Amino acid sequence: MKSFPSLFLIFLWCFSNQIHALQGPKSASETHFHTVQLSSLLPASACTDPPTTKGLNKRESTLKVFHRHGPCFRQGKDDSAATVPSLSEIFSDDQSRVDSIHARLAPKSNTNKVDLPAKSGQTLRSANYVVSIGLGTPARSLSLIFDTGSDLTWTQCEPCIRSCYQQQDPIFNPSTSRTYSNISCTSPKCSQLASATGHKPDCLSGSTCIYLMQYGDSSFSAGYFSSDKLTLSPTDVIPNFLFGCGQYNEGLFGSTSGIIGLGRGPLSLISQTPPKYGKYFSYCLPSVSSLTGHLSLGKSAPLKNVRFTRFASSQRGASYYFIDIIAISVGGRQLPISQSVFKIAGTIIDSGTVITRLPPGAYSVLSSTFKQAMSRYYPSAPAFSILDTCFDVSNSRAVTVPKVAFTFGGNVVVDLAPQGILIVAKPSVVCLAFAANNAATDVGIFGNTQQKTLEVVYDVAGGNLGFGPAGCR
The residues carrying an active-site annotation are 147, 350
Rounded CA separation 92/100 (Å): 13
Residues linked to residue 258 through DSSP beta bridges, in sequence order: 144, 155
Helix, strand or coil for residue 72?
A: helix
The span from the first CA to the last CA of the chain, in angstroms, equals 55
Q: Is 49 helix (H, G, I), strand (E, B) or coil?
A: coil
Q: What is the dihedral of CA 28, 29, 33, 36, to 10 degrees?
A: 70
Helix (H, G, I), strand (E, B) or coil at 116: coil
Rounded to whole angstroms, how far apart are CA atoms 161 and 168? 19
Identify how many contiguous H helices and E strands the chain contains and give both numbers.
10, 30
Measured CA to CA, the distance from residue 407 to residue 282 in angstroms comes to: 20
CA distances (Å), origin 168, targets 246, 255, 291: 16, 5, 20
What's the number of CA atoms in the CB half-sphere (13 Å) around residue 200?
4
Which three-class secondary structure state does DSSP give residue 134?
A: strand
In angstroms, the CA 297 to CA 460 distance is 12
